Amino acid sequence: MRRRWAVCSLALFAAGCIDFGTDTNAVGAISFDGIPYPAVVAGDTLRNEQGQVTALRATVRSGAGDSVPNAKVQFFTRDTTIILTADGRVIGRANATGLARLFATVDGLQSITREIDVVRRPDSVEFVSAPTELTVSSADTTNNSQPFQLRLLNVASVSGVKGFLVRYTLEFRGAVIAPGDTTRILLVDDLGRPSTVDTTDDSGNAGRRVHARVPALSGVTDSAIVRWHVSAGAYPGIQTEFQRVLRIRPP
């Protein structure tokens, strides 16, 4: 049995839905594959990190666990901050800001709910802070620098823009530290967890810290280079890269 679902808009619930269809006899599970970027700009279409318009996707599997490649999936939202198109694109409503929640359905099965921020268009990025020195101690857990920060802004509204990815790289002794390398020196979040990517918060701020491992240091004053920038290919005007040198003093 094959059931066709219509493209629809449920005004009562402020819901939009997208029809991709399904073979109802084959469906066993649905997985919402995620949203390509944490935020969509009001009046623009959702884009991935490289700036390309990217549609939503979901994976449908049969009861045996096999992929159902031609399944027709519907994406729903009950929020008025976005528009869902028939080909799976997400458009931020003009002048809207706020959170939008989306989920996927097929033949009565529903995925988990995912969220996306609808934000003003960012048009400026500013340097916030960067430490110049880290003095390490014998207690490894305390050897975190102050944060290397930037702020993403919408100048007209004098407000920060949330939901944009900020990527960090760390160079030590002439080599870029790979994201999974935690042997000597690494980038961490505010909780001390290894991380090279942050997302701008409600104030438009993002930051990462440098953690140095005492046993791996040579016992002499050393230095590292930290670089960071907003990663959003659709908006080249905000991709200024900041670079600072951090002096590391041994215990």
Residues 8-58: tens digit of each pLDDT: 333 323 333 444 444 445 688 999 998 999 999 999 999 999 999 999 999
Write down which residue in 119, 141, 164 finishes a domain: 119
The CATH number for 32's domain is 2.60.40
pLDDT, tens only, 58-72: 999 988 889 888 888
Domain boundary, last residue among 100, 119, 138: 119
- Give the global pTM: 0.85
Structural domain total, the chain: 2
In this structure, are 105 and 143 located in the same domain? no
Torsions phi, psi of 13, nearest 5?
-105, 10
Of 91, 119, 147, the position where a domain reaches its end is 119
102 and 163, same domain (yes or no): no
Range of the domain at 230: 124-249
Instruction: State residue 4's pLDDT score.
Output: 36
Residue 113 shares a structural domain with residue 139: no
